[in-house]
Structures are given as structure tokens and as C-alpha cells.
Chain A
Amino acid sequence: MNTKEIISNYTRKEFPESIGKYGNIFLIIGALLSILAFFVDSERATYSSLIGFMFLISIGMGAMFFIALEYITGVVWSVPFRRITEFMTNLLWIAPIFAIPTLLNILYGGHMYHWVHPGEDVILLAKSAYLNEAWFVVRTASILIIVFIFKLYMISNSRKQDTDKDQKYTKRNIIASAPFLAVFAFGISIIAIDFMMSLEPHWFSTIYGVYYFAGTFTASIAVLTLFSVTLNEKGLLIDGITTDHYYSLGGFMFAFTTFWMYIAFSQFMLIWYANMPEETFWFIPRLEGAWGFATLSLLFIKFIIPFGLLINRNSKINPKRLKLASYWLIAAHFYDLYWLIYPTYSKQLSEHGNNFSIFNFWMEISIAVLIIGIILTVMKSSAKNVNLVPVGDPKLERGLNFHI
């Protein structure tokens, strides 16, 4: 059966029930524990919800980026799983919920962000034209709204194409992808700067946006790989997805893991080398004591181990190894966000004479569980009554014929 026939004989399959089941379990347990966390230590729970927000933004916006990239570069190998990527963008609906604790903290006099009450601090007063509550909310809202506009437009084009099979939708999406990439670049940088970099408002790094992007893209490819490989192994996608497609996904994960390491090392080494106190103080809490161990393990977790896992050609085509690498990279991104946010929180606590309790790490785990539940549930519900493969896409046939 050649590819043309495969496409014309395509029938819609359902997401496996188990995903929905697991999704609900994780969702409920995660939600209960997270709500409990708020009552136990509301400040820490706000921080862990911040990780949740940044994570979901990563996956959602990273997925949008991947879609736009596919359209604008004209590659064909990712077309069979573009629909999965489109489902991932629906996480953007849920992400703002996780921003609510942070926003409440900012708007109602919390101590998460020092720039909310700069007091006599000249440095913060100088930045207050940018770092103030009103602009913070306006920026976040505008970015999310603009991204939503692009998302709704591009995804609906893709859906309509399923029935119409008209090439004009592809053309429209290509035209939309170009400005979207600009929106993405600046939007993701601004969100990273606003929500995470300004936790330490005296500090600054021009590469911060790129750093967050590197982690974002790796994680979203990992989620895409996980779902695509799982569904394909169960025969729920479409015939014709081969090890060559897997190899491309694995190759992207490998490449962007290395890219993350490159960005992380540049940021560290330049600040270490110049040794300017106004920059090094951000790294110091991350290198002292227990956090030093956390930083070292970040190197292993986010680079050395995935590098070793994915360098072999075999690992990139074996579905089991690919899924293992995906799970690992998703967890590694979560850990990276934790490493970006929590040492600052721990430092703020110790400045006020409190201790950072390592025993309350169940709060972060609860957010992780909740996120897993959200991802599973959102993916399953996005797939309701929708084709799992963009059958109307003109590039699908070339995509299934794709060979390295």
C-alpha cells in the first residue's frame, strides 16, 4: 500500500483510555496536594506554582514555535505528528491559572519580588519604569493574548485543512508563522525576564531569554516525542512513520540538549571570568553548600546523561530509549526551572532569618504531579473528535515518504 492509499484510507483513532485514566489520577492527587501546600506554606506554594507556570508556558509556546518553524522552513518529516504538537499548544489555556498565585503576590503586597516595594533602593527605583505591577500585568497579558490569536488562527487553519484539503491553509499558516517567530522570540524572553530574572532584580543577563528558550525547546520536543512514539507504537497515528522520523526527533533532542549546555556554560563562564560583583552574586547562592551540589547535578541531569543517552544512532531510533530520554528531559527541564528560581527564594528566606526547608520539597513534587496530570488530560481532551494526523496537509505524503 503506497502512501497515497494510506492517507486516503486513514481513519480516526482515539487516544488510549489509559492516558485519560492516569491523567485524572495525577490531576486529582496533584491538585489536592498543591492546595494543601497553599495552606501549609503559601509563599513556597506560590514559588512552586511559578515553576508550574513557566513549565506549561515552555511546552505550550515551544509547541507553537515548532509548528511555526515547520511551516516556515518547509520541512516534511514532522508533518505526521503536527497534530500532536497542536494539542500541546492547548496547554496555554491552563498556564495562566498557575500565574495567578504569583500575580496575587505581586498585586497584594507579597515579598516574592523586591521591585514591588523598592523603598530606598536606587537601583530598583531606576528600573521601576519597567518593573512595576501595572506594566508587568499588561506585558504578560498582551503577550499571551497575541500568542493566543496566532494559535487560534493557525490551529484552525490546520483543522479546516483536514476536510478541505486546500493548500491555501498551508500558505496562510506560512505567512502567519513569520511574524509569530518574532512574537515568540520577544515574548518568551520577556516572560522569562519578568517572572524569573526579576526575582533577583539587581541581576541581569542578556542571554537569559535564550537560556529559557533552549530549555523550552528541548522540553517541548521531548513531550512531542513521548506522545508521538507512544501513540505510534500503539498504531494510533498512521502507517509510514518510520525509524527515520524517530531519528529526527531524537536528533533534535540531542542537538538542543547540547545547545542548552552551550548557552548555560557561556552565561556562567563569562560572569565567572569578569568576576564583577554586580553579576556574580546570582551564582554565589547556587554554588555554596547544598545548592552547589544541586548545580553540579544540574550539569549531569540536563547535559551529561541525556548526551550519553542520545548520542548513539540506535538510541535515536529505538522507541524505548527515545521514551526514556523524553521522560528524562522533561524532568530535567522541571529541575532546571527549580534551579533558576529556588536558590533565590532560599537566599531571601535566609536574609529574613528563616530556613529553606528541604522537607517541604513535596510541594514541588505536587506541582510536578499536577502538571503531568494536566498534560495528559489536556492532550486527551484536545484529541476528542479530532484527527490525530493532519490528513489534509499537502506535505503529509512527502512526510510519510521521508527518508534520511
Chain B
Amino acid sequence: MNKKLYALTAIFSEPNDIIRAAEKVSSSGYKNFDVNTPYPVHGMDPAMKLKPSKLGYFTITIGLFFASLFTYFIYWVQTLDYGQVIGGKPMFAWPTYVPILFEVAILTGAVLTVKIMIGFFFKFPNNSHPIHDSEYAKITSSDGFGILIESDDPKFDEDEINSMFAELGSKKINKIYFDESEINHKNNPFDYRFIIGLFIIAGITSATVYFNMNVLMYMTPFNWMAEQERGDVFESSDYASFSKLGMTMREPVEGTVARGFMPYTFGKFEKEEAGKALVNPYAADSTNLELGKRKFLTYCSSCHGDNGLGKSRLKGLYPPGPDLTMDLYKGYNDGILYHIITKGGAIMPAHESQITRKERWAIVNYIRIIQNNITAVEEEDTDTEDDDMWGDDEDSEDSDDDMWGDEGDEEDE
């Protein structure tokens, strides 16, 4: 049997002895040696001439680095990507980030330092070190202190070391050999056991995930988060069982009207009848005319021009409206004009739903002013800056508007 020697070891039973042993071995010039103790013994590091661990530098660098990175991330999120004003505070509310940044620094510093210690400094996990399962290991993990000198140390000489150990007072001097299987062992990534193992793990993982996500989540009681079959609950998207067409929203009964609705009994082409029946109830005083002018400019001027002269602004997108000062239109009475605004004309659309009854009468009054004062032609008013386009300036007008006819005293047309 060709056993390869790993190291010579010596066991001591007193802390003072192991310290002395370490000092002797380190000052004798051995480099590849180690001390194994069940707990850290004070003063061992200088005895072995070891320099202090540098892990602290890793911690602080990592912690500060990740905290800075996270600061930038928070800055980017809270100000650049989706900036919001929260609680009246500035977008980059740094006092509120301090707790998080502190935690991030600690988390990354601590966890990564441990990872570095285990993976890089210890080179763990490593369960195939020759020392494992030896008598030496069993003693030094429990109640003895041991020192070992590896056989690949340049100054290794069995006899010299044996006598040195005996001189130091060790009662147990042993040899540790490499494990047979470890010597010739090579890690084979294509080992059939490994591949089969991978497949098994893949299979188990996919089966578990599939079962959890596609089967378990739909079984009572785990499906409490998902849509459930509740037999007697009516879904809004279901057909209604009590109506003819299955519609839950039914049409109103014949003759139903909105509140405040007053029917307009004249059909589109019945303007003569309308003209005979309808009378303008509103006097053309200054308030009414202001309202009429405003509404005219809003609704009528795009086709009929600002002064009703037919200078359409629509640039051919829609046929221009006629000049309202023509004799034909001067001949129409108020009722006919009201009817045309309400129901529309040949190509003019109906404005019944956009303009309230009062506003329509006000427009009619205003048109009369235009028709009667055409001699006083103003400059085409292209500058609409002073125009109270939205009716913001005098709001009392609109608050009087009885759009829905709720106010009793404005029922008449």
C-alpha cells in the first residue's frame, strides 16, 4: 500500500504547552504548519507569527460601496424615473433614505464578508481534507491541542520533527496520511451519478413547481387568493335570467324622460311650424347679449365666422356656414333661428345637446344684433385674447343656466 504522508502531528493537553510549541515551530522556520484547538487560544496568533486578519477592510469597503450604489438607485427612482412629491417633501428626501442606506450597508457588509471568509479564506466547503476523521481531528475538536507540520514543508524531516515534538513534551505523536481515494480522485463533471442527480433534481423541482402553481393553488383551501366558484353569486358579466335579451341593464320604458327634460316637439324639417309657435322669452338686455355673444363665439363662429359673415375658420374641413346677415336670414323670425340651432339645418349639425335653451335664445338675440348692425363692420377679430373663451370671467351667467330645467322659474322656452 502506497500511503502518502500528509503531516506529522503532536497533541498537547495544556494551553501553555501548545503556545510554546507554536512559538518553537514558527521560529524554527517551518512555514506549512498549523495548530488545531477546540476553541481559539489567546496569544496563538502572535505565537504562530500570523498577521492580523484583513477581513475588516472588506467589510467597510463593501458596505460603503453598496450603500453608495443604493443611494444612486433611490435618487434615480425618486427623482428621475418616477418622481413624485410625497408628503410635501422634496423629491430627493435624503433624511428618509438614511435608515435604508444604513441597513443596506450593514446587510451587504456582513453577508458578503462572511461569504468571502468561507469561500475565499477558508476555501470551504471542503470535507475531503486529509485531517478529517483522523484521531488527531477527534481529539483537537474536543479536549486536546494539536500542532501539525505538513510533509510538503521545505524543512520537513521526520526525525527532526519527532525529536522536537518530544522535547516540547507531547505525549502523542502521530502521522496523518492522505486518504487513498482522495489521492487519485479527480472531479469528473460528466460522472454518470452527477448527471443523473442533476436530472433528478430538475425533475423534482419542476414537478413541485408545477404541482404548486397549477394544481395546489386551485384546490380548496389554497385557492383563497384566486377566483372561486361561488355558486349563488351573480357575476356582473353573466346574462340576466329575468330579462328577455339577458341584459341586466334594460332599456327604459317607452316615454321615460330625463329629469327636467322638456320635449322639443318639432321635427327637423318643421321649421315653419316652430317659427310660428316659438317666441323668444328673453329680452335682449346686456347680460343676455353678453351670454349670446360668448356662446356664439364658442359654437357658431367656427363655421359662420366671428362676425357671422361666413368667414369660416375650418379651412375647408367642413363646408362654410352662410353669411347670417343675408336677407333670407333677416327674414327668419326668432323661432325659426332657434329651431335651426336646435335641430340643425341642411348641413349644419344639431346643437340641441350642446347649448342650453337659454343660451340658444341668447344666441338668437345676438344674431339679431349682428344682422341689424352690419354697417358697423369691425375688423375681423382674429385676436381672441380678450375673448372670454371659457366664460371664466363672468361666472354668474353660467350659474344661472338651467341646463336641466331644475329651477322652476325657467321652465318656459
Contacts and interface: CB of A to CB of B under 8 A. Distances in A.
A164 B88 CA distance: 68
Given A311-B60, A313-B56, A273 B42 contact: no
Contacts of A273: 87, 89, 95-96
A242 to B, nearest CB: 13
Interface residues of B, number: 10
Interface of A: 265, 268-269, 272-273, 275, 311, 313, 403
Q: Which 8 A-B pairs have the closest CB atoms?
A: A269-B95, A272-B95, A265-B98, A403-B42, A275-B88, A273-B96, A268-B95, A273-B95
Given A313-B52, A313-B56, 9 more contacts: A265-B98, A269-B98, A272-B95, A273-B89, A273-B95, A273-B96, A275-B87, A275-B88, A311-B60
A269 B56 contact: no
Most central of B60, B87, B89, B95 by chain A CB within 10 Å: B95
A403 B42 CA distance: 9
Contacts of B56: 313
A275 to B, nearest CB: 7
18 contacts: A265-B95, A265-B98, A268-B95, A269-B95, A269-B96, A269-B98, A272-B95, A273-B87, A273-B89, A273-B95, A273-B96, A275-B87, A275-B88, A275-B89, A311-B60, A313-B52, A313-B56, A403-B42
Contacts of B95: 265, 268-269, 272-273
A377 B96 CA distance: 46
Nearest to B57: A312
A265 B99 CA distance: 10
Nearest to A312: B56
Nearest to A311: B60
Contacts of B60: 311
Nearest to B56: A313
Nearest to A314: B52
Interface string B82-102: 000001110000011010000
A58 to B, nearest CB: 27
A104 to B, nearest CB: 40
A64 B405 CA distance: 86
A386 to B, nearest CB: 35
A363 to B, nearest CB: 34
B210 to A, nearest CB: 47
Contacts of B89: 273, 275
Contacts of A265: 95, 98
B383 to A, nearest CB: 46
B87 to A, nearest CB: 8
Interface string B24-66: 0000000000000000001000000000100010001000000
Nearest to A269: B95
Contacts of A311: 60
A313 B88 CA distance: 44
Contacts of A269: 95-96, 98
